Structure 1
Amino acid sequence: MRELKSFVLLAGQLHFGRAASLLHLSQPALTKQIRRMEGELGSPLFERGRHGTALSSFGKQFLKEARTMVTGFERLLERAQSSARGESGHLSIGFGFHTLEFVPRLIVRLREIAPGIGVDLRDMSTAEQVEALRDGKLDLGFLRLPAPDAFRILPVIKDRLVLVSSPALPLPAHATLADCRERPFVSITEERAPGFFNHMLRLCAKSGFHPRVVQQVPEFTTALALVQAGLGIAIIPESVGTSRFPGMRVHPLKDKDAAWSVGAGWRKGDTNPALAKFLQLLKEEMKNA
């Protein structure tokens, strides 16, 4: 590539002395480069005569492709350097209901400081994110902790379980989980969120019962709509909120085991510069929180 760039510059100058100066080479070194190219190609690139230097017929043909090659290489180099600085590249990020507001806010900031980074966002459960991280389909996920040892983890937020009811099937204002042993429950499916589902079962078992689940659904918004309609009560993460469902009543669960943490997780040894840029932004966000 260095010899190609020398050839293209000399073809524009048609003067060995000026071209060598621009290339920061001695004139004999430039001459040696060109002669080496001509030897490899099997034909002269320049004609040297008393009127100076001129491109040969073969040199004129070769110049067209050489210019394209040099321009393409310089663009490739620029893109690679931009990617290495974390200014461009690609990220695939998984997130769940815990970070439904937090992650989009980060992506807006990332667009501001590194608009060249393309981002895929995927709404997934922790179990789905763990599998995708292991398979290399995600660069980073926001996972319910604890997470597998194969990942680096940065704790991000805390969440906790709460009970929700509605006037259609009311609970006393200060109801505890133990008060709900005879009540029908609406729950998200174990397949969709196995970590959450098992957490709910453990908490109910601690209160001495197994919840009577009358309906399982794939999304918390659907569960809340069914609670509002009077099908049952539900245990949901506090972060989900109930503002879109007027009249809903939230009953905090004071048990310390109702709380858990969510952290950003990524593969150990991942050297993706775009990931490093996002993690830098994430750490700044956590510091200012």
Structure 2
Amino acid sequence: MRLQPLPAFEDNYIWTLSDASGRAVVVDPGEAGPVLAAAEEGLTPIALLLTHHHADHIGGVDALLARWPDLPVYAPDDPRIPQATVRVGDGDTVEIAQWRFDVLAVPGHTRSHIAFHGHGHLFSGDTLFSLGCGRMFEGTAVQMLTSLDRLAALPADTLVCCGHEYSRSNAAFARVVDPDNAALRRREQEILDMRSVPRPTLPVALASELACNPFLRVDADAVRAAASHAAGTALTDRVDVFAALRRWKDGFRA
């Protein structure tokens, strides 16, 4: 199988997972152009997987359906995604040709956000980023942390395929939170080297995120201490630590 991130807009990725013949599942096509260009090079979409309703993740669906009207569109049960042909939710399985994906409900960024996990890949949309997580536009800290905990429990060799190239800015924040983390320093340098070319910093192994991402490390002493300092009060509850981190990140400027 070939995994390929198609750059879109300023920092989005449309993910494709294809076989030797070029048949591919396409994840979160925020615009059609990159997919249509890939089709000129031999890619043949056979299904669309959508993680949530935001326009930069579904905006290209109509144009792709105009080109391939029989494409199945797998999406969460949310009326804000009217193009869906198959509604899926937590615990469902998506089977397309030789591919099989488990669906995980991961609310927090949006209330109906889902992720797709299969064949060693996690398509996490805007829930989990490298060294970061999504903003909580519709969910609560409890929901988002629960969602991140679910993703963190997947096999450590899972490749995280998220929706945005935010790694460099996320690394700047993570380093302030956890400056003595040697694994984080190595990952940050890797990110800087990749972006200088430029190359995508994704996918990234979940094991790396477990070692480096402060939003997956709310139980670590250093992360808890940094969140407490930012909040101006001692925090012991892990949800409070996460919420403080997310508020801090919302206003952070490198």
Higher Rg of the two aligned structures: 1
Q: TM-score, normalised by structure 1?
A: 0.23
TM-score by length of 2: 0.25
